[in-house]
Amino acid sequence: MNTKRPTLSLQPKARPAPARSPRPERPPRAALSSGVRPDLKADSLAMALVGAANALAQMRAGTTLPQALQVAFGVAAAGPQLRGAIQDLAYRGARQWGRTQVLIGLMTSKAPEPPLLAALLGVALALLDTPAGASAPYEAFTVVDQAVTAANAHPDMAHGKNMVNAVLRRFLREKDSLLAAALREPEAQWNYPRWWIDSLRQAYPRDWEAILAAGNAPPPLTLRVNVRKTTVEAYLATLAAAGLGARQIGPVALRLDKPVPVEQIPGFADGLVSVQDAAAQLAAPLLDVRDGMRVLDACAAPGGKTGHLLELADLELTALDADAKRLTRVQENLDRLGLTARLKAFDAQSRVWWDGQPFDRILADVPCTASGIVRRHPDIRWLRRKSDTLQLATLSAKILDNLWQMLAPGGKLLFVTCSLWPQESEAQAAAFAVRHQAKRLAAPGQLLPSQAPDADHDGLFYALFEKSAA
């Protein structure tokens, strides 16, 4: 048996720029002790396992995975290669969390403590239980050896190193029977909480299985071509010259055959394209903006739709967001595109920032459970509670009512949410129309997440309203 501790062979995988994180967010917290033995090699799989376990333990404590990863990167003093490996393992572990935790329950008499140890086992099992059609990134013996090394190297897990060894080896011996037993549980079969599965089945009795499957798949990398600087045809030629295959899946939407880091995308730094899901690219055109209009992009961060609006017309645009730090991301995107807008850090429920001049168009991309973008944010399913739907729908209704007061007669308001729950989408839109006698115009309504070749997109909802000119 090869006893040499392997170095990282898992290269950082290309991952699309994250979609807007679900809000509200909880502050990050470190997962127990951060120290590891100084002899643990920084380029080892064991170190990557510690980092990923740290992030997943934070996730289970209520922190979003992107926030948790930032803490984990600091704990591991991670360079680019290690950061990529930690991120890949953490996302893999989050996507398979339901199954791995059921498996752990089948093989242990009580939950491993502390949570960091349970998270380490979860990540290791996710590597050993490779999804159908995917290749295993490591040999099984390597995963076991490095998981034991990781446990032994961390003061909060060292007591469990023998248990880690025993559980992982038992899984390899009894894999078929253990998986058969685990898959009797819906959480293990689908890798979602039971309430989530039940809610989808109730809302979409014909589509719930396809929706769950789409949410478990890694997302594509979709680009939006900046028509101010190039054309779809010209940019496809640019990609081809760079050896990158792509196909058009929307008016200005291109999906790369294989995701690559943004720094490898030709012209990205110069604003020729932006990373944006195909469903999200529908927002700006629906508002039918024209030069000279006063436009409000409420809840604007990270700014993808802001930039798209400004690419379509010369606008007097205000980008509003409650989080000043998130507005920094909006400004960075606008700078890259060579566009300008007024940025205001205020809650969309207030009007203290408003100058009293009505807007011709308002984009209301309101806070929600983000249940339609779980393929990009697999942690959402484990962070959300069923009660969050009502709380966020109530908040969104207040925001929509407030924004309607700022819309000019004859103006249009586009209500957008990245939720699949009818309470946050269609029911919200119908109630809003009744409250304000708002005329509802043609819009896509509920888009279900899809992996179809010509419709590979997230699950978003659109409702477009026009204010009476009288």
Active site (catalytic) residues: 418
CA distance 469 to 9: 63
> Contacts for 212-218 with beta carbons within 8 Å, 24 or more apart?
213/451, 214/375, 214/448, 214/449, 214/450, 214/451, 214/459, 215/374, 215/375, 215/378, 215/381, 215/449, 216/95, 216/190, 216/191, 216/375, 216/378, 217/375, 217/451, 218/375
Q: Measure CA 332 to chain center.
A: 20
Nearest residue to 280 via CA among 461, 443, 24: 461
318 bridge partner residues: 296, 342
What does 51-118 look like in DSSP terms, one character per residue?
A: HHHHHHHHHHTT--HHHHHHHHHHHTT--HHHHHHHHHHHHHHHHTHHHHHHHHHHH-SS--SSHHHH
The helix/strand/coil state of 29 is coil
- Which residues 6+ apart lie within 8 Å of 451 measured at CB? 213, 214, 217
Nearest residue to 330 via CA among 359, 371, 354, 301: 301
CA distance 209 to 261: 31
Nearest residue to 219 via CA among 449, 454, 37: 449
List of E strands, 252-393: 253-256, 273-275, 294-298, 316-321, 342-345, 359-365
What sign does the dihedral 376-381-382-386 (CA atoms) show?
positive
Q: Is the omega angle on the peptide bond into residue 24 within 30 degrees of 0, that is, cis?
A: yes
